[in-house]
Chain A
Amino acid sequence: EPEVTQTPSHQVTQMGQEVILRCVPISNHLYFYWYRQILGQKVEFLVSFYNNEISEKSEIFDDQFSVERPDGSNFTLKIRSTKLEDSAMYFCASSSGRRTEAFFGQGTRLTVV
Chain B
Amino acid sequence: QQQVKQSPQSLIVQKGGISIINCAYENTAFDYFPWYQQFPGKGPALLIAIRPDVSEKKEGRFTISFNKSAKQFSLHIMDSQPGDSATYFCAASRPNSGNTPLVFGKGTRLSVIA
A interface residues with partner B (beta carbon < 8 Å): 4, 31, 33, 35, 41-45, 48, 50, 55-56, 58, 91, 93, 95, 98-99, 101-107
Number of interface residues, chain B, beta carbon within 8 A? 24
Q: What 1/0 mask marks residues of chain B from 62 to 84 whose CB sits below 8 Å from any chain A CB?
A: 00000000000000000000000
Say whether A104 contacts B98, CB under 8 Å: no
By the criterion CB–CB under 8 Å, are A56 and B106 in contact?
A: no
Q: A99-B32, A99-B95 are in contact. Are A45 and B43 (CB under 8 A)?
A: no
* Cβ < 8 Å to A, chain B residues 31-66: 32, 34, 36, 41-46, 49
Given contacts A103-B46, A107-B42, 8 further A-B contacts (CB under 8 A): A4-B43, A33-B99, A33-B101, A41-B106, A56-B100, A93-B43, A98-B99, A99-B95
Q: Is the interface of A mostly helix, strand, loop or mixed?
A: strand
CB distance from A39 to the nearest CB of B (A): 11
15 A-B contact pairs sorted by A residue (CB < 8 Å):
A31-B99, A41-B107, A42-B104, A42-B107, A43-B44, A43-B107, A45-B102, A58-B101, A93-B43, A95-B99, A104-B36, A104-B43, A104-B45, A105-B43, A106-B43
| Interface mask (B87-112 → A, CB under 8 Å = 1, otherwise 0) | 00101000110111111111100000
Residues of B within 8 A of A4 (CB): 43
Residue with the greatest number of chain B CB neighbours at <10 A, chosen from A4, A33, A42, A58: A42
Of B42, B101, B103, the residue contacting A48 (CB under 8 A) is B101
Determine which of A35, A44, A50, A101 lies in contact with B99 in the assembled complex, contact meaning CB atoms within 8 Å: A50
A31 to B45, CA, bound (A): 17
> Could you say which of B42, B99, B101, B105 contacts A106, with CB atoms under 8 Å apart?
B42
Q: Which residues of A contact B43 (CB under 8 A)?
A: 4, 91, 93, 104-107
Per CB-CB distance, the 3 closest pairs between chain A and chain B, nearest first, are A104-B43, A45-B101, A31-B99
